[in-house]
């Protein structure tokens, strides 16, 4: 009998296999979060235009989740990832939520991943993009970090912030290589203890520039964009190879994901079909992102899982792995998917919640319901989302409407934190007791480069059809032509990679249309229209170059005013601020009309 227990215990350990042994020793954890890389940029997700052999290999060595949801923009996504909580709880609602006085949370307000893992004895590190969350990575629990002050792409640059100190490197430095070197050095120095590393490359956010691997003389923007995808794919491969060389690969859990969908102007087909929407939109293409998890000692190889996963699920998954919990009474919205990582069915979430500003939806496998009560058939997602009017309900859709309505009533996002003043500090109304601006019915133009108007001086665009036009002389490939509003609501006409774009934002939700071809240098007459039904059109010299559909006219007068030739206090579209136009702008006019149903 004295021998039976040890033998039985030994037999049990053998039967459990390497997974239990690996988990008995705390795993290393690396989360790689690419910027603006949706599922249409990753070949194992069916991308037709791009090849990512290293990400494909990572998926073959572990699990590929097919339906993971982030927020449609980077700041709110990164906040959900770090905190495990929805935006209406944290205040991380828009890109401007972390402005002074905004509702964006501080690290001390939350129970961030890194701070919790430190309690479990983990060394914690971060490299790459961070600015959207405000403060420093150190204040969110990271022992060591290397970052910069850019919320967009950061490539051939020389200035960095390393552990709170300024780091200046020589000209010709490629910033993604600096972040990669810091990451690999951290891993080497901490190879003998458990570590958590949050690696957030700026790739593939605009501006789309050459990489060190780009063929000299390459100017085609699509080729440059593909080079950027290939480069981040190569870096992931180098990271995995270094873990293998150090003998750490078996017990290191490597995640790869993207912070939101692909940016406007860059979406490409998946199995021959275009996703519905892109970055900034409350559509599948805005929030559905790749998620790959590979932990060779534990995860099944080459498994594909269709369970719904939310960015809020990462925090509770990691804390369960390491055996640490948030403070008692602190509400976490995420659900651990550790059982799935172990190859078990687990308890998948019945729905995923997505929010950006004052817009949100809850989505289950077959249906989606938004804050306005609109139900969508998601059976052909991510390519098509078909609205279902209540009078056209089937028994199945009626039941889904009731289920999802109950979910939103229980969550009550409208009763949580809001960011109704996310247009930036300029032009907020202190007078009239903070009354909303109304705009000027007589403001029609013409205006030119450098002109700016306060909200009350600018055209009264709330609930109006719009026709905006300008004459431009183009000398560059980036810059705002004219904009009115900011991160909560407004419009902008701008250049992105030389292509003309028209952005309309409502309650934080962004709709963007982009011309297929770059303008090039020269003189052009540009025009953008927004109709009462939300129809958008963009014209160059009288020829339509893009069209699309927003939810309707801009509901209220934006708090931020009108600016010609730069971005104003906060970005309406998918660009950084400031964003000056390189060239000359004249004869800017804004025509407003009531339109049908406005």
Any idea what the CATH number is for the domain that residue 563 is in? 2.60.120.200
Strands (E), 90-164: 123-128, 144-147, 159-162
> For the chain, what is the domain count?
3
Quick check: 293 and 299 in contact, CB under 8 A?
Answer: yes
Q: What tens digit of pLDDT does each residue of 209-256 get? A: 999 999 999 999 999 999 999 999 999 999 999 999 999 999 999 999
Say whether both 314 and 169 belong to one domain: yes
**Confidence category of residue 123, pLDDT binned at 50, 70, 90:** very high
* Closest CA relative to residue 81, chosen from 347, 316, 328: 316
DSSP-assigned letters across all residues of 268-296: --BTTB--S--TTSSSHHHHEEEEEEE-T
28-34 and 252-258 beta bridge pairing:
parallel
Q: Residue 183 belongs to what H/E stretch?
A: helix 175-189
Whole-number Å distance between alpha carbons of 503 and 266: 15
Looking at every residue in the chain, the average pLDDT score rounds to: 90
Q: Of 314, 346, 378, which closes a domain?
A: 346
Say whether both 455 and 381 belong to one domain: no
Any idea what the CATH number is for the domain that residue 167 is in? 3.40.720.10
**What one-character DSSP code corresponds to residue 192?**
T
Contacting residues for 589 by C-beta, under 8 A, at least 6 apart: 444, 445, 446, 447, 468, 469, 470
Give the tokens for residue 35: 């910027």
* Closest CA relative to residue 154, chosen from 85, 95, 200: 200
Query: Given phi > 0 = left and psi -120 to 50 = alpha, else beta, which region is 273?
Result: beta
Q: Is cis: bond before 382, omega within 30 of 0?
A: yes
Taking residues 256-280, report their average pLDDT: 93
Q: Is 125 helix (H, G, I), strand (E, B) or coil?
A: strand
Specify if 118 maps to a domain: yes
Q: What tens digit of pLDDT does each residue of 474-483 get? A: 998 899 999 9
Quick check: 385 and 393 in contact, CB under 8 A?
Answer: no
Specify if 338 maps to a domain: yes
Say whether both 387 and 312 belong to one domain: no
Give the tokens for residue 564: 């010609």
Specify if 59 maps to a domain: no
Q: Provide the domain limits for residue 505.
A: 436-593
Whole-number Å distance between alpha carbons of 500 and 480: 10
Say whether both 461 and 541 belong to one domain: yes
Q: Of 316, 346, 376, which closes a domain?
A: 346
How many C-beta atoms lie closer than 10 Å to residue 219's C-beta?
8
DSSP-assigned letters across all residues of 328-397: TT--------HHHHTTS-----S-EEEEETTEEEEE-SSEEEETT--EEE-TTTTT--EEE-GGG--HHH
Backbone angles phi, psi at 336, to 5 degrees: -65, 135
Specify if 553 maps to a domain: yes
Specify if 532 maps to a domain: yes
Q: 401-436 burial, b if ≥16 CB within 10 A, otherwise e?
A: beebeebbeebebeebbbbbbbbbbbbeeeeeeeee
Quick check: 569 and 560 in contact, CB under 8 A?
Answer: yes
* Closest CA relative to residue 378, chosen from 395, 362, 357: 362
Q: What tens digit of pLDDT does each residue of 47-58 get? A: 999 999 999 999
Quick check: 479 and 460 in contact, CB under 8 A?
Answer: no
Taking residues 550-573, report their average pLDDT: 86
Say whether both 383 and 479 belong to one domain: no
Specify if 225 maps to a domain: no
Predicted pLDDT of residue 162: 97
Say whether both 163 and 185 belong to one domain: yes
**Confidence category of residue 265, pLDDT binned at 50, 70, 90:** confident
* Closest CA relative to residue 506, chosen from 358, 385, 286, 355: 358
Q: Tell me if the pTM is above 0.95.
A: no
Say whether both 445 and 319 belong to one domain: no
Q: Is 304 helix (H, G, I), strand (E, B) or coil?
A: strand
Say whether both 125 and 152 belong to one domain: yes
Give the tokens for residue 265: 């102007």
Say whether both 145 and 277 belong to one domain: yes
Q: What angle do CA 243, 205, 239 make, to 5 degrees?
A: 5
* Closest CA relative to residue 206, chosen from 501, 492, 484: 501
Quick check: 297 and 310 in contact, CB under 8 A?
Answer: no
Say whether both 333 and 254 belong to one domain: yes
Specify if 24 maps to a domain: no
Q: What tens digit of pLDDT does each residue of 184-197 get? A: 999 999 999 999 99
Say whether both 72 and 130 belong to one domain: yes
pLDDT for residue 462 is more than 50? yes
Q: What percent of the chain has pLDDT over 90?
A: 72
Specify if 568 maps to a domain: yes
Predicted pLDDT of residue 454: 85
Radius of gyration of the chain (CA): 25
* Burial class of 149 by CB neighbour count within 10 A (0 to 12, 13 to 18, 19+): exposed
Whole-number Å distance between alpha carbons of 73 and 55: 23
Q: Residue 518 belongs to what H/E stretch?
A: strand 509-518
pLDDT for residue 421 is more than 60? no
More confident call, 151 vs 411: 411
> Measured in Å, how far apart are the chain's first and last C-alpha atoms?
85
Query: Given phi > 0 = left and psi -120 to 50 = alpha, else beta, which region is 575?
Result: beta
**Confidence category of residue 507, pLDDT binned at 50, 70, 90:** low
Of 102-116, 361-375, 507-521, least confident by mean pLDDT is 507-521
Total residue count of the chain as it appears in this document: 598
Strand partners, 346: none
Predicted pLDDT of residue 62: 98
Q: What percent of the chain has pLDDT over 70?
A: 92
Say whether both 268 and 378 belong to one domain: no
């Amino acid at each position: 009998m004295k021998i039976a227990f040890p033998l039985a215990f030994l037999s049990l350990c053998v039967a459990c296999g390497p997974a239990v042994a690996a988990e008995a020793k705390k795993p290393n954890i690396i989360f790689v979060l690419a910027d603006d890389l949706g599922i249409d940029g990753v070949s194992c997700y069916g991308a037709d235009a791009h090849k990512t052999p290293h990400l494909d290999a990572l998926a073959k060595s572990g699990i590929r989740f097919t339906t993971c949801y982030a927020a449609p923009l980077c700041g709110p996504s990164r906040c959900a990832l770090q905190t495990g909580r929805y935006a209406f709880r944290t205040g991380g609602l828009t890109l401007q939520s972390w402005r002074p006085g905004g509702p964006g949370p501080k690290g001390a307000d939350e129970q961030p991943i890194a701070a919790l893992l430190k309690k479990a004895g983990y060394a914690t590190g971060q490299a790459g993009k961070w600015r959207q969350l405000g403060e420093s990575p150190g204040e969110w629990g990271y022992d060591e970090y290397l970052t910069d002050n850019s919320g967009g792409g950061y490539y051939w640059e020389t200035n960095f912030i390393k552990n709170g100190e300024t780091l200046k490197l020589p000209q010709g430095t490629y910033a993604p290589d600096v972040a990669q070197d810091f990451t690999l050095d951290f891993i080497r120095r901490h190879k003998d203890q458990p570590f958590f590393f949050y690696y957030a490359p700026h790739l593939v956010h605009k501006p789309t520039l050459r990489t060190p691997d780009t063929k000299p003389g390459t100017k085609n923007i699509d080729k440059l964009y593909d080079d950027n995808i290939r480069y981040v794919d190569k870096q992931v491969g180098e990271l995995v190879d270094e873990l293998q060389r150090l003998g750490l690969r078996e017990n290191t859990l490597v995640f790869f994901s993207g912070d939101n969908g692909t940016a406007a102007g860059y979406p490409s087909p998946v199995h021959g079909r275009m996703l519905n929407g892109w970055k900034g939109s409350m559509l599948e293409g805005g929030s559905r992102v790749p998620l790959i998890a590979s932990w060779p000692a534990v995860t099944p190889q080459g498994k594909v899982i269709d369970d719904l996963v939310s960015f809020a699920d990462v925090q509770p998954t990691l804390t369960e792995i390491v055996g640490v919990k948030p403070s008692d009474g602190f509400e976490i919205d995420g659900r651990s998917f550790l059982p799935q990582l172990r190859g078990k069915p687990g308890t998948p979430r019945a729905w995923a919640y997505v929010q950006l500003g004052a817009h949100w939806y809850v989505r289950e496998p077959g249906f989606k319901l938004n804050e306005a009560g609109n139900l969508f058939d998601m059976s052909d997602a991510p390519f098509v989302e078909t609205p279902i009017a209540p009078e056209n309900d089937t028994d199945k859709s009626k039941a889904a409407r009731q289920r999802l309505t109950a979910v939103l009533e229980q969550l009550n996002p409208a009763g949580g934190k809001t960011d109704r003043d996310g247009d930036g500090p300029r032009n907020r109304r202190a007078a009239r007791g903070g009354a909303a601006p109304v705009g000027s019915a007589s403001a029609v133009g013409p205006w030119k480069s450098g002109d700016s108007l306060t909200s009350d001086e600018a055209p009264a665009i709330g609930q109006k059809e719009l026709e905006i036009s300008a004459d431009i002389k183009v000398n560059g490939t980036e810059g705002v032509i004219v904009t009115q509003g900011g991160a909560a609501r407004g419009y902008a006409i701008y250049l992105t990679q030389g292509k003309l774009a028209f952005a309309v934002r409502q309650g934080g939700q962004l709709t963007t249309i982009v011309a297929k071809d770059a303008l090039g240098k020269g003189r052009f007459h540009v025009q953008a229209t927004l109709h009462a039904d939300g129809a958008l059109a963009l014209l160059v010299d009288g020829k339509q170059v893009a069209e699309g559909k927003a939810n309707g006219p801009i509901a209220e007068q934006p708090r931020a005013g009108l600016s010609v030739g730069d971005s104003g206090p906060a970005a309406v579209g998918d660009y950084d601020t400031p964003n000056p136009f390189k060239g000359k702008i004249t004869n800017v006019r804004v025509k407003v009309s009531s339109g049908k149903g406005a």
